[in-house]
Amino acid sequence: MNEIVARIKQEVQKVVIGQERMIESLLIGLLCEGHILLEGVPGLAKTTTVNALAKSLGLNFKRVQFTPDLLPSDITGTEIYDPVKNEFRIKKGPVFTNLLLADEINRAPAKVQSALLEVMQERQVTIGERSFAIESPFLVMATQNPVESEGAYELPEAQLDRFMLKTVVSYNTKEEELRIAQRVANESFEEIEPVASKEDLRKLKESVKKVHIDKELEEYIVDLVFATREPESYGLNHIKSHIMYGASPRATIDMYKASKALAYIRGLDHVTPLEIAYIAKEVLRHRLILSYEAEAEEINSDQLVEEILKNVPIP
């Protein structure tokens, strides 16, 4: 593993016990400048992890708690009239940062979602008649609570597609939970120190681009995505009726980039099928639009991705 990546992980693990997969997903997001969606019940250190990551890199970090009464201007900013100068001035919103934590993103109404969509895709914000570029690096790390449905809005498919990975955050093990309780009770969490700079992050991104991926594995990635669109071409007739729409071309791009980033985090100079299989669910699970038949049979997208991984031949 790269020394800088190891130091970043070490700093985050000062305040986050376990949750290795979530930490890896956030690092992949940073190295690829891809947005990450974290799904899990409250209390699993999602906010703490994002905050710790920002501190370890000395990046600007802002958090927005999404609620049904939130307005687009609450996140993007607005024009304010200055009576002294008799002119309007721009007050920038919390999206003008490096890491934006959108907490419980599925609680915001459609207008807020569309405002966030522009920032996520175009890396710019329009306030009044002016557009402002967002400083790099910029990534949205959003959380959603899968349990509560009251006052929650389904994220539109176009927005879900903008998230590079969707990581499902699960409970800690018994041993990890005991260590968390001991640390919290004794207030023994260490301070997080910045161990890397924006320049270090830029160099890491350049290194990720140099990670080699064989032609056969490139084709394997494309096959996995095409299997969601044309299951019958891959001997998957039994899941065809469960998928209404397969993954978009963004899935292919994101799986390609994420597998290289994961290989780099693991200290490899080339991608193996293991990295692709490890990341496939996180890239595809939020991009499959399931049929009513799948919902009626209580089949979820993770089960369908598992079937695809089993049936598409590994090179």
95-105 pLDDT, tens digit each: 898 889 888 88
pLDDT at 1 over 70: no
The pTM assigned to this predicted structure is 0.87
Helices within 136-272 (DSSP H only): 157-160, 174-186, 198-209, 215-229, 237-240, 249-265
Nearby residues of 285 by Cβ (< 8 Å), 6 or more positions away: 166, 168, 301, 302, 305
CATH of domain 210-311: 1.10.8.80
Retrieve residue 25's tokens.
Answer: 């997903």
Overall CATH class of domain 3-189: alpha beta
The per-residue pLDDT for 58 is 85
Provide mean pLDDT across the span 264-287: 93
pLDDT at 152 over 70: no
Provide mean pLDDT across the span 83-94: 82
The per-residue pLDDT for 88 is 78
Q: What percent of the chain has pLDDT over 70?
A: 97
pLDDT at 16 over 60: yes
Domain assignments of the chain as residue spans, ordered by start: 3-189, 210-311
Closest alpha carbon to 152 in 110, 114, 119, 93: 110
pLDDT tens, position by position, 213-250: 999 999 999 999 999 999 998 888 888 889 989 899 99
Other beta carbons within 10 Å of 222: 15
Question: Where does the pLDDT of residue 315 fall: very low under 50, low under 70, confident under 90, or very high at 90 and above?
Answer: confident
The per-residue pLDDT for 149 is 54
The per-residue pLDDT for 53 is 87
Q: Residue 124, SS3?
A: strand
The per-residue pLDDT for 199 is 86
Q: What percent of the chain has pLDDT over 90?
A: 28
Other beta carbons within 10 Å of 14: 16
